[in-house]
Chains A and B, each alone.
Chain A
Amino acid sequence: MPARNHKQWTANPPLKDGEWINSRIYSDPEIAQEENEKIFKNMWVPVCHESELPAPYDFRTTSIANENIIICRGPDNEVRAFLNVCPHRGMLIERRPSGSFMEGQASGNPKRITCMFHAWQFDMKGNCVYVAREKEGYQDRLCKEQVGLRRLRCEVKFGGFVWINLNDNPSVSLEDWAGEPFECLRKTLDEEPLEVFHYHKAIIDTNYKLWHDTNSEFYHDFMHYHNRVTGFNDAYFARKNEAFDHGHVVVGTFEVNYENYEGFESRADLSFPHLPPNQWYMVDLFPGFNFNLRGSALRCDTVTPLGPDKVLIEFRGLGLKSDSPEDRMTRIKHHNSIWGPFGRNLHEDLIGVAGQGTTMRPDTEPRRILHGRQENQTIHDENGMRHYYEEWGRWMDRSPIAPDMPFSDRDDGSQVVNAE
């Protein structure tokens, strides 16, 4: 077909509903704000790994949907999470990314979470244990027992990741939400403790869903030289994209021939427990969390949306806590070769998603984004994204093809799009 005029360019594609979406959902500031309220404030989010706070009184800080969070390990070894906000006057209590409360701070004692502003102190269960000049200021009108921290739903699960939900009453338990997609890796991830060995982050001018799309489809292997030379065999194409409830997708495994690529080596000797040699599983959890196990190393991506056209992506690499120094080095090298910030594939993936972000900035004309490849739910099929946007529509009650329409009316979506 020759190049199209504006009417042709903005016309609906000859595909069924669900096989394309409106790019406005990647660029509309109102939709981005609404996603934080409707999705991220009600979602289980893997904020870190338990190995990042290995000892009692260790802590990590993070944020979900602009809410600041502190995670700490108590003397009872329990990992708990609280809003990182002082109940006095709203000060951010802990400013560091990680550390230990075993050390006293300028305003507070050891073993206490201390707000530096007015020296209010809290224990590892979030109880307020000290209000400076409590009686003098509040007499009997308010006491420390009434001003504990805001506790959050927090579980350590699926290989030791720390999951938090800002909603006290989530619509579904963590097990019911992600247990089935993790079933293929449950024995592997839970056989023995894992440990994080890699962390870096990227802030990319793109929508968070576009990063998850990239993690959910393998059609983009044309972008990766490494995949082309190692992966293009029958077993590679035969892998299935299996959809699970709640918008999740699991990409099935096959045996990767790493020896085919100069500079790479087999990972068979360092396979994770219960995993056949050189296998590759990928778990994509709605709305933007990816667990990618290539035989010897596990990668985990988490997204934090920063607006319609900006996302923080945190990248972690994990091995077995029991690794010898030599084995750990080998795992790190395997991880970095493809997934490191100076590795082969990650750079290409991020260029790709940044390019999409460039064409979908706020106020760009909405376009039709195609998710219509049908290949028997194998890896070049785009069923993973279709499944994802069904779930997105339910959470947002917006049609992905006509975002101003309720999701429940989606069957009429094409008519509304034509009328825009």
Chain B
Amino acid sequence: MIEMKAKIERAIYEASMALDNNNWAGWLSLCDEEFNYKITAFSPEINKDMIYFEHNKGELANLLDMLPKHNTDHSPLFRHTSVYTVDVSESGTEARATSSVVVFQNMLDGVNSHLDSGESRLFLVGRYHDTFTITDGVVKFVTRETRLENRRLDKGSHYPI
């Protein structure tokens, strides 16, 4: 069980590194075919749970393939992830984990590159709520809910968090 928890932690950190590197194919390779991804937040302003983004694996792949055809702020996002809890089912075939995530934006081209490039700004704060399937010792993400504490998102992003 301890070994499986370590594998799950490793999958979460590998996902963070793949996302940091805009390695979308590498990120999606860590995900099950049934993968569902959400970015959510609670708004005290309107007193509602909100979904800011939701895609399945196929939709994500299409979206990420089209990124070069969009005008995007290319400032890299850099995630600081800390795994808080990992719970593996008794059968050993499923697991869930909660991690804290802080996302910095390393300014490149978003506003005034002469002044801003090279600076890191706090972009988002939240938690990853992940579920996994475990088959023959291989861990795959089945769902990820990136639960944000932010509602002020300024320019936003074309990148998954």
Residues on B with beta carbons closer than 8 Å to the beta carbon of A355 = 111
B-contacting residues, A200-218, CB 8 Å: 200-205
Question: Contacts A52-B45, A223-B71 given: A347-B157 contact, CB under 8 Å?
Answer: yes
On whether the beta carbons of A262 and B154 are closer than 8 Å, the reply is no
Question: Contacts A97-B45, A98-B45 given: A199-B156 contact, CB under 8 Å?
Answer: no
Q: Which of A179-187, A274-282, A333-341 contacts B (4 or more CB under 8 A)?
A: A333-341
On whether the beta carbons of B52 and A202 are closer than 8 Å, the reply is no
Residues on B with beta carbons closer than 8 Å to the beta carbon of A344 = 70, 158
On whether the beta carbons of B50 and A347 are closer than 8 Å, the reply is no
On whether the beta carbons of A196 and B48 are closer than 8 Å, the reply is yes
Residues on A with beta carbons closer than 8 Å to the beta carbon of B14 = none
Task: Quote the shortest CB–CB distance from B109 to chain A (angstroms).
Answer: 9
On whether the beta carbons of B151 and A203 are closer than 8 Å, the reply is no
On whether the beta carbons of B154 and A350 are closer than 8 Å, the reply is yes
- The answer, yes or no, to whether B54 is at the interface (CB within 8 Å) is yes
- The answer, yes or no, to whether A354 is at the interface (CB within 8 Å) is yes
Question: Contacts A196-B48, A351-B110 given: A203-B155 contact, CB under 8 Å?
Answer: no
Contact of B155 among A262, A316, A347 (CB under 8 A): A347
Task: Quote the shortest CB–CB distance from A289 to chain B (angstroms).
Answer: 17
* A355 and B155 alpha carbons, distance in the complex (Å): 11
On whether the beta carbons of A333 and B54 are closer than 8 Å, the reply is yes
A339-360 near B? 1/0 per residue, CB < 8 Å: 0111110111011101100100
A-contacting residues, B77-123, CB 8 Å: 110-112
Residues on B with beta carbons closer than 8 Å to the beta carbon of A200 = 41, 43, 50, 52, 151-153
Residues on A with beta carbons closer than 8 Å to the beta carbon of B21 = none
Interface of B is mostly: loop
- The answer, yes or no, to whether A244 is at the interface (CB within 8 Å) is no
On whether the beta carbons of A336 and B53 are closer than 8 Å, the reply is yes
A316-336 near B? 1/0 per residue, CB < 8 Å: 100000000000010011001
Task: Quote the shortest CB–CB distance from B85 to chain A (angstroms).
Answer: 26
On whether the beta carbons of A348 and B152 are closer than 8 Å, the reply is no
> In chain A, what residue has the closest Cβ to B114?
A358
On whether the beta carbons of B153 and A202 are closer than 8 Å, the reply is yes
> In chain B, what residue has the closest Cβ to A61?
B45
Contact of A341 among B71, B110, B156 (CB under 8 A): B156
Number of residues from B at the complex interface, CB < 8 A: 36
Residues on A with beta carbons closer than 8 Å to the beta carbon of B1 = none
Question: Contacts A336-B53, A342-B39, A354-B110 given: A204-B48 contact, CB under 8 Å?
Answer: no
A49-61 near B? 1/0 per residue, CB < 8 Å: 1011000000010
Number of residues from A at the complex interface, CB < 8 A: 40
B124-161 near A? 1/0 per residue, CB < 8 Å: 00000000000000000000000000011111111111
Residues on A with beta carbons closer than 8 Å to the beta carbon of B151 = 199-201
Question: Contacts A262-B62, A262-B66 given: A202-B50 contact, CB under 8 Å?
Answer: no
* A350 and B153 alpha carbons, distance in the complex (Å): 11
- The answer, yes or no, to whether A197 is at the interface (CB within 8 Å) is yes
* A258 and B57 alpha carbons, distance in the complex (Å): 20
A-contacting residues, B55-79, CB 8 Å: 59, 62-63, 66, 69-73
On whether the beta carbons of A347 and B45 are closer than 8 Å, the reply is no
Task: Quote the shortest CB–CB distance from B145 to chain A (angstroms).
Answer: 14
On whether the beta carbons of B158 and A342 are closer than 8 Å, the reply is yes
- The answer, yes or no, to whether A90 is at the interface (CB within 8 Å) is no
On whether the beta carbons of A197 and B50 are closer than 8 Å, the reply is yes
* A98 and B48 alpha carbons, distance in the complex (Å): 11
- The answer, yes or no, to whether A2 is at the interface (CB within 8 Å) is no
On whether the beta carbons of A351 and B73 are closer than 8 Å, the reply is yes
* A320 and B70 alpha carbons, distance in the complex (Å): 31
* A344 and B55 alpha carbons, distance in the complex (Å): 13
- The answer, yes or no, to whether A141 is at the interface (CB within 8 Å) is no
Residues on A with beta carbons closer than 8 Å to the beta carbon of B73 = 347, 351
Question: Contacts A198-B50, A347-B73, A358-B111 given: A204-B154 contact, CB under 8 Å?
Answer: yes
Residues on B with beta carbons closer than 8 Å to the beta carbon of A351 = 71-73, 110, 155
- The answer, yes or no, to whether B51 is at the interface (CB within 8 Å) is yes
> In chain B, what residue has the closest Cβ to A342?
B53
Contact of A358 among B44, B112, B157 (CB under 8 A): B112
Residues on B with beta carbons closer than 8 Å to the beta carbon of A198 = 50, 52
Residues on B with beta carbons closer than 8 Å to the beta carbon of A202 = 152-156
Residues on B with beta carbons closer than 8 Å to the beta carbon of A332 = 50-51, 54
* A305 and B47 alpha carbons, distance in the complex (Å): 25
On whether the beta carbons of A348 and B45 are closer than 8 Å, the reply is no
5 A-B interface contacts by CB (under 8 A):
A336-B52, A342-B160, A343-B156, A350-B154, A350-B155
Shortest 5 CB-CB contacts between residues of A and residues of B: A341-B156, A341-B153, A342-B53, A350-B155, A225-B69
Q: Which residues of B contact A (CB under 8 A)?
A: 39, 41, 43-48, 50-54, 59, 62-63, 66, 69-73, 110-112, 151-161
Given A197-B46, A332-B50, A343-B53, output 10 extra A-B contacts at Cβ < 8 Å: A51-B46, A52-B45, A196-B48, A199-B50, A199-B151, A225-B66, A332-B54, A344-B158, A347-B156, A350-B154
